[in-house]
Structure formats: structure tokens, C-alpha cells
Amino acid sequence: MAKVRTLVITGYGTNCERECAFAANQAGSDQTDIVYFFDLTADKVRLTDYNFLILPGGFLDGDDLGSAQAAALRWRHMRTKSGRSLMEELRIFLDAGGLILGICNGFQLLVKLGLLPALDGQYFMRQVSLSHNDSAKYEDRWVTLKVNPGSPCVFTNGLDYLYIPVRHGEGKLVTDNESTLVRLQEQNLIALQYVDPKTLEVTQDYPANPNGSPLGIAGLTDPSGRILGLMPHPEAYNHPTNHPRWTRGETSTLGTVLLEKGIAYLRTR
């Protein structure tokens, strides 16, 4: 049975790394390391020594150039001390069967690196982006999510609905044309959608959809199903008492189930 070695990247404004590491350990990771981005470039750590990469939420570079824009440029253009390309390291990591989970700012980074949605198998090409919420303000609330049963995503396999928190100001998926949304549907790369908590129907209505994302898109996967990016924070719901109505006896499936699914998948490799 394969061991799961989890790498959680931090630095430059990331602030959810400890929650992510805790959630990974809780989900069964055999080894979990929180590593600063520049430790990769200094050759202190190699991405390819791990098989589960988590890009946590936070406010990378203060979102000053747009969410995760500066971080994407670092990944694209910086090299390690020994001259290795970080983008090539990412490619090798994925070719070896590694999993990537990008949460909130991490999702924003994945789309700007072109790792999501990778329509037609075109990786490292930016095809979509994430922009300001329609409300024009930071949203901090709990949302109900529907899992797409037709998605290849290994993190959501076998799940139906989730109830987890969001906390972001730039979570609306944007595309250059309508056909991109059609292709996302046709290729089943929409992994998670915001739904009305009463009807469980996909919605663009506020506040059930906190950002106005078309088709209620809350998370995307890639054609392999081994990359998941989502705006809500599954790691923030890691115990029943995190639920906003737990004192009334209300609970639901923990958000950490997404990490459990990913880790279970890796153990079979």
C-alpha cells in the first residue's frame, strides 16, 4: 500500500497552511510537511519527493496584482538553485500520478498556472480565471455544494452534497466566451456547484451562490480527475463542532472527506 506524502506550500501571504496540514493528517496522510515556497527554489525540498500537493488559501501577495497573479509568475519563471524549472517539476509530479488540491487562493493559482481546467487535455495554458464577487465585497459564509457525479474527480468520487464555508473576495469564474462554459459541461470538468439549500438546485442567486459564478461553479477538476480547485474551504470543517448549528444538534459530512478521498486514491496506486 502506497504511503501518502503531503506537501503544503506556504509563504507570501498564505494563511491556511496549518488548517490544511491538520486536515491532511486527520484524513490519514503518512507524512505532512508545511514548506515555504522559497524552500523549493533553494533546493531544501523537492516537489517530486511527495505525491499530494496542497495549495492553501490566504492572500498571496495581498492580491495586489489580482488573486494569485504574482504567485503564478513565480511558479512560471523561477528556478531552483540547481537550475531546475518549477513548472517542469510540476509536470513530472503530475506524470508520476501525484494529486493537487487548490483551496481558495490555491484554486486561483491553479487556474492562472493553466492546470485547471485543462480543457481538451491542454495543461499549462490559462483558459479561465477567477474575478471579483458580484457583491463587490468579501464573503464569509457557509454554502451548500452539489457534487457532479459524472466528474472524473478522485476527491469527490461517491459524494453527493457538502456544506462548508467560503471566505473570499474573488471567487467568480470568468471565461472569454460562452463556449468555454459549454465545454466545461461537456467534458464534466465542473466538480462542485453552489446550490440553493432548500431546493438543492444549482443557483446563481445570492447568497447561496456567494460570488455569482456562472453555472454555480464552485470547483473545477482536470481531465485526469487528479487536480481539484475549489473556492470553499473543506479544511475549515474538520470537526462536528465547526458546524454553525452544532449546538442545535445539526451536523453534516465533514469537509475533510475530500482529502480522505484523495488519500484513499493514492493508497491504491
Split at pLDDT 50, 70, 90, the class of 63 is confident
pLDDT at 65: 79
Written as one letter, the residue type at 52 is F
Average pLDDT over the chain, rounded to an integer: 96
16 is an active site residue: no
pLDDT at 1: 76
pLDDT at 138: 95
Higher pLDDT: 177 or 53? It is 53
Phi-psi region of 259 (alpha: psi -120 to 50; beta: other; left: phi over 0): alpha
104, 139, 168, 170: which one is catalytic?
Answer: 104
Which among 266, 187, 256, 195 is positioned nearest to 221, based on CA atoms? Answer: 187
In 3-state terms, what secondary structure has residue 72?
Answer: helix
DSSP 175-223: ESSHHHHHHHHHTT-EEEEEE-TTT--B---TTTSSS--GGGEEEEE-T
Split at pLDDT 50, 70, 90, the class of 61 is confident
pLDDT digits (tens, 9 = 90+) for 148-205: 999 999 999 999 999 999 999 999 999 999 999 999 999 999 999 999 999 999 999 9
- Between 76-80, 118-122, 222-226, 264-268, the lowest mean confidence (pLDDT) is in 76-80
Distances 133 to 138, 200, 248 between C-alpha atoms, Å: 8, 22, 31
The span from the CA of 73 to the CA of 80, in Å, is: 14
16, 19, 20, 233: which one is catalytic?
Answer: 233
19, 139, 170, 235: which one is catalytic?
Answer: 235
235 is an active site residue: yes
Split at pLDDT 50, 70, 90, the class of 100 is very high
139 is an active site residue: no
CATH of the structural domain 5-267, one choice from 1.10.3720.10, 3.40.50.880, 3.30.420.10, 3.40.1710.10 = 3.40.50.880
In 3-state terms, what secondary structure has residue 23?
Answer: helix
pTM exceeds cut of 0.95: yes
